[in-house]
Amino acid sequence: MRILGIETSCDDTAAAVVDDTGLVLSSVISSQDSFHKKYDGIVPEIASRRHMATIIASVDEALLQAGMRIRDVDGIAVTYGPGLIGSLLVGVETAKGLAYASGKPLIPVNHLEGHVMASFLRDTAGEPQPLTGEDFPVLALIVSGGHTELVYTDRWLHYRVLGATRDDAAGETLDKFAKYLGLGYPGGPVIQRIGATGDASYHQFPRVMPGRAGYEFSFSGLKTAGINYAKSLPAGELQKHLADIVASFESAVIGELVEKSLKAARDLAPRTLAVVGGVAANMRLRESFARRASVRVYFPSMKYCTDNAAMIAYAGIRRAMVDIRAGMDLDACSSLGIEESSLGE
């Protein structure tokens, strides 16, 4: 089985073809970063207009690179939520049009489920070895620009949310701190680059929700503490210690992610802890998990951590295997939760 995946939930226009072994036959991503950079954040109106301009070419390119025509695929999977509504609609309506014209099944995919499914993808590079059905139960930390949550999945397509952020997502926190410092967008990769040469013990930012039981996250207090600290410093001091301050902030965000995840891993004893989503590309985060975890920790390859359509196509494969289809009335849903796409107990 081979599925065409379409992803337009945020600011990347992506299309990909994946087969039922998880092999990525093509993965095309058209980044909009250059259009949003001057605003230091995503402008939803610009995002949907850019998706409209590039979606057809992205689908054509994905099929071309896979050496296929639309008639050769077994279905069309599309992200229908969560995300920016104007962005999601472009993908959903395009997928509907393609499904209707080609007579192929339309498969609805939850973006968060897609991030989890990135752990099962393999490409011709071969590294890292993907997870398989043998690796369940999986505890997934989904950590991106829009989401931070711990999800337990003991078999394909079954998801239980253990805890999520009460306010900002981890990636959003990095993006906002970078924006305040004038470092540009997206903030996560810039913070990683600048922080790499810094001393992470330079400043101790307050611990987030210390002592709180459970698996909820909170980052808005840390964000405010970071901005207030930067504000309180004389400009020269900030410039002189920029790398140290950035490294300290990055490591405070990471500390929260690692601690809550490892607590959940101790309590639930999953076979695998999968760290997925854009922030999972972070090197300091990877090193911290590797150093501290006693459970096996899996990271998808960098290119499948950030938004892509290969992960959506593979989620589509697993859904198609159990005959999940959508009709032409499929609607985009900006606040869709992963449990709403779970097959239940």
The residue among 175 and 256 lying less far from ligand KG4, judged by its C-beta, is: 175
Give least dist CB 144 to ligand KG4, A. 3
Among 5, 86, 108, 187, binds ligand KG4 (CB under 6 A): 187
98 versus 314: smaller Cβ distance to ligand KG4: 314
* Residue 175 Cβ vs ligand KG4, minimum distance, rounded to whole Å: 5
Residue 192 is a binding residue for ligand KG4 (CB under 6 A): yes
Q: Whose Cβ is closer to ligand KG4: residue 3's or residue 312's?
A: 312
Whether 145 and 171 have beta carbons less than 8 Å apart is answered as yes
Q: Is 144 in the site for ligand KG4 (CB under 6 A)?
A: yes
* Other Cβ atoms closer than 10 A to 1: 13
Decide: helix, strand or coil at residue 25.
strand
Residue 240 CB, nearest approach to Zn ion (Å)? 35
Q: How do strand 272-276 and strand 296-298 relate by DSSP bridges?
A: parallel
Please state, in angstroms and rounded to a whole number, the distance separating the CA atoms of residues 24 and 307.
15
d(CA 4, CA 320): 12
Q: Does 79 bind Zn ion (CB under 5 A)?
A: no
Query: Two tokens at 124?
Result: 């011709």
In terms of Cβ atoms closer than 10 Å to its own Cβ (0-12, 13-18, 19+), residue 143 is buried
Contact between 5 and ligand KG4 by CB under 6 A: the answer reads: no
Binding piece for ligand KG4, criterion CB under 6 A, among 40-48, 102-110, 150-158, 274-282: 274-282
Query: Residue written as tokens 């070895």?
Result: 129
CA-closest candidate to residue 20, choices 120, 107, 136: 120
Q: Does 144 bind Zn ion (CB under 5 A)?
A: yes
Q: Does 14 bind ligand KG4 (CB under 6 A)?
A: no
Spell out, one character per residue from 79 to 118, where the chain touches ligand KG4: x when CB under 6 A holds, - when not.
----------------------------------------
Stretch that binds ligand KG4, among 129-137, 150-158, 170-178, 259-267 (CB under 6 A): 170-178
Which strands make up the sheet holding 24-31, listed edge to edge?
24-31, 12-19, 2-7, 75-81, 106-110
- Residues comprising the chain, all counted: 345
The label of the residue with tokens 């499929």 reads 330
For the CB of residue 91, give the shortest distance to ligand KG4 in the complex, in Å: 14
Write the binding mask 191 to 220 for Zn ion: x where contact by CB under 5 A, - elsewhere: ------------------------------
Whichever of 294 and 335 has its CB closer to ligand KG4, that residue is: 335
| 301 exposure class (CB count in 10 Å sphere: 0-12, 13-18, 19+) | middle
Q: Which is nearer to ligand KG4, 144 or 153 (CB)?
A: 144
Place of tokens 């850019």: 50
| Cross-strand bridge partners of residue 122 | 23
Q: Which tokens belong to 343? A: 């097959």
Q: Counting contacts by CB under 6 A, is residue 278 touching ligand KG4?
A: yes
For the chain, helix, strand, coil in percent to 5 are: 45, 20, 35
Alpha-carbon span 171 to 85, nearest angstrom: 20
Regarding 307 and contact with Zn ion (CB under 5 A), the answer is: yes
270 binds, among ligand KG4, Zn ion, none (CB under 5 to 8 A by kind): none
Using CB under 6 A, count the residues that bind ligand KG4.
Answer: 20
Of the two residues 48 and 248, which places its CB atom closer to Zn ion in the complex?
48
Question: Which of 130, 188, 198, 300 contacts ligand KG4 by CB under 6 A?
Answer: 188
Which residues contact ligand KG4 (rule: CB under 6 A)? 10, 144-146, 171-172, 174-175, 186-189, 192, 277-279, 281-282, 306-307
Interface residue list for Zn ion (CB under 5 A)? 144, 307
